[in-house]
Structure 1
Amino acid sequence: MAIKEVHGAPNLATLYPKALLGGTKHGDKLPDTELVRKDVVVDPAQLAAYNEVCGFRLSDELPATYPHILAFGLQMQLMTEHEFPFPLLGMVHVANNITQKRAIRLDETFTLKVYAENLRPHEKGRQFDVLSELSPSGADDVVWRDVSTYLRRDESGTGSSGPREQLAAPTPNAIWRIPADIGRRYAEVSGDRNPIHLHPLTARAFGFPSAIAHGMWTMAHALAAFEGRLPDAFTLDTRFKQPVLLPAKAAFTTWRTGDGWAFELWNARKPNPHLEGSITAV
């Protein structure tokens, strides 16, 4: 794998226009490139703003979802490179898996690596993983690992999923009242300014009736519900289902499992699932 060192945080203000004007891409091979950024530090003000938007308490330990914010710029850079086979617009974030091997502190310095792998068929097209790994500066041990799975819809899909089972929403533990501006608020702290999250008009241009919440915000807000009950080392596995159309009222359910917790988020007015996930000690 070719190693490409990136000096400083990628400029998202230039990457989004590049994504919008990316043109037509073709190919069936992911780039054999690993982007590496050294001397990564956390901005305490940004962390505090992230914690407030997502529902975490203020702390000098990072929520397990926060390093995704640090990795997001490198992910964008990788997926807007010329050799990347798919245009970024139209990609669907279908799942995310985060493993934290220990508590991560605000005052640490890190090396961040991002690469793509595992291009494979999906019933609606093709999917692949973008992996992000965080290591303490000067060390090789990975303390945090994120696997973001994306779907590229196209005619190569297998179409083999079969009929969908009609599900019934479980009795909720909590009701989330999600404001219309949560997409803009999360965009400010994350840098993810995809138009589908920002305003009803820009979302309609991409086929949505209103702006939709970021999947990573719903995942983070779900994780925040478990604060005080989490081990230092765990895996957070989430699968994104139907989008959360803003503003929204959503039903959140949790239950204990043999080795951790499971959770689901549903539309509170009709039995449409938004996400499902689990937290497992490692």
Structure 2
Amino acid sequence: MSAVTLHSAPALAPLLARGALRSPFKRPGPDAEFPRTRLVLPGLRVDLAKLAAYERVCGFAAAADGCAGVDALPVTYPHVLGFPLAMRLMSGRDFPLPLLGLVHTSIEIVRRAEVPASGEYELAVHVDGLAPHRRGTEATVVTGLRADGELVWESRSTYLSRHGAGGGAAPAAAGAVVREVEATPLPVLAEWRLAEDVGRRYGAVSGDRNPIHLHPFTARLFGFPRAIAHGMWTVARCLAAHGTPGAAVVRAGFRAPVLLPGAVAYGADGSGRFDLRGAGGKLHLAGEVRALGGGVRGPGGGVRG
């Protein structure tokens, strides 16, 4: 795999436009070629104003709580930092899945240490491969954050292109989490009413302006009756309520889209598991938080995620 060093994060608007224009000409399939490039952005510093806006939209506390004076990034925020690099890869000619309508289906995050908002980092993103899914083809995108050469945060995200029978299954880690809680709802700790503009507000702070999240009309073009919430907003909102230890593993599988506007129930138990359900107990999201090394994190923990 070749490495390409960037001098700044790519501008998202041109990438999204390029990906949209190329989408009708894509021919997705699990055996298709995919980009073998690793994009690297050194010298990255966090824009604190953008971080604060993200924390407000997702419900994270404005200050580190119990972090020994260190203002740690929310555990999901490096995903936002890596999003422009991921979009550069996924909007390219050599990425076989159409960007329009691409659905985030799972994420696994390993945070090896707290990530101070004031630090300087090296960010890297690459496509790890394609796999068949029962509804099409999934791509796995890996994002890593390094401080002084040490990997402090890494994620593996899967993105689904729906194009008919694929014959595969959900990723093993996230799929196991979903199966554990699918039949038995977790104790409900909070109920949230979600406004119609949640997708637009999260898109503004994350840069993810996929049309399926923005307006009912654009969502209907891709088979959804209304706009749907971003998967990363739902998991961030749950983790803001749940809390995470400094060194942690987070896994989440997105089972069904959350339609906007709507109402959802957040549940969690002492095992570190959490879920998000809608009317009639319909499962939207199932996840777990574990301390790196095997411990579990109960709901409402004191360390900001």
**What TM-score results when the alignment is normalised by the length of structure 2?**
0.84
List runs of 5+ in structure 1 lacking aligned partners: none
Per the alignment, residue 91 of structure 1 pairs with 102
Deviation digits for residues 130-180 of structure 1 (CA, Å, limit 9, x no counterpart)? 0000001xx32110001111122334511789xx9x946444121111111
Give the Cα–Cα distance (whole angstroms) in 2 for the partners of residues 175 and 12 of structure 1.
33
SS at match of 2:269: strand
Paired residues in the alignment total 272
Per the alignment, residue 114 of structure 2 pairs with 103
For the 8 Å contact 2:187–2:269, the answer to whether it is kept is no
Q: What aligned pairs does 1:133-152 form with structure 2 within 5 A after superposition? A: 133-136=144-147, 139-152=148-161
Deviation digits for residues 2-32 of structure 1 (CA, Å, limit 9, x no counterpart)? 1111221111110111111013123612221
Give the Cα–Cα distance (whole angstroms) in 1 for the partners of residues 165 and 226 of structure 2.
29
SS at match of 2:202: helix
Give the Cα–Cα distance (whole angstroms) in 2 for the partners of residues 245 and 4 of structure 1.
38
Per the alignment, residue 199 of structure 1 pairs with 215
Structure 1's 29 and 221: CA in aligned 2 closer, same or farther, altered over 3 A? Answer: same
1:276 aligns with 2:277: no
Q: CA RMSD for the aligned pairs?
A: 2.0
Give the Cα–Cα distance (whole angstroms) in 2 for the partners of residues 248 and 276 of structure 1.
18
For the 8 Å contact 1:168–1:271, the answer to whether it is kept is no
- Percent same amino acid among aligned pairs? 44
For the 8 Å contact 2:185–2:267, the answer to whether it is kept is no
Which residue among 259, 262, 271 is the counterpart of 1:248? 262
Per the alignment, residue 55 of structure 2 pairs with 51
Amino acid at match of 2:163: D
For the 8 Å contact 2:132–2:169, the answer to whether it is kept is no
Structure 1's 234 and 171: CA in aligned 2 closer, same or farther, altered over 3 A? Answer: closer
SS at match of 1:96: strand
Per the alignment, residue 253 of structure 2 pairs with 239
For the 8 Å contact 1:169–1:272, the answer to whether it is kept is no
Q: Which runs of 4+ in 1 moved over 3 A?
A: 166-171
Q: What aligned pairs does 1:51-200 form with structure 2 within 5 A after superposition? A: 51-59=55-63, 60-136=71-147, 139-155=148-164, 157-158=166-167, 167=183, 169-200=185-216
For structure 1, which segment, 214-223 or 119-128, has the greater mean C-alpha deviation from structure 2 after superposition?
Answer: 119-128
For the 8 Å contact 1:2–1:33, the answer to whether it is kept is yes
For structure 1, which segment, 19-28 or 109-118, has the greater mean C-alpha deviation from structure 2 after superposition?
Answer: 19-28
Deviation digits for residues 204-229 of structure 1 (CA, Å, limit 9, x no counterpart)? 222211111111000100000123xx
Deviation digits for residues 104-154 of structure 1 (CA, Å, limit 9, x no counterpart)? 111101111000113222222222210000001xx3211000111112233
**Which has the larger share of helix?**
2
**What TM-score results when the alignment is normalised by the length of structure 1?**
0.91
SS at match of 2:242: coil
List runs of 5+ in structure 2 lacking aligned partners: 64-70, 171-178, 293-305
Give the Cα–Cα distance (whole angstroms) in 1 for the partners of residues 33 and 289 of structure 2.
32
For the 8 Å contact 1:203–1:209, the answer to whether it is kept is yes
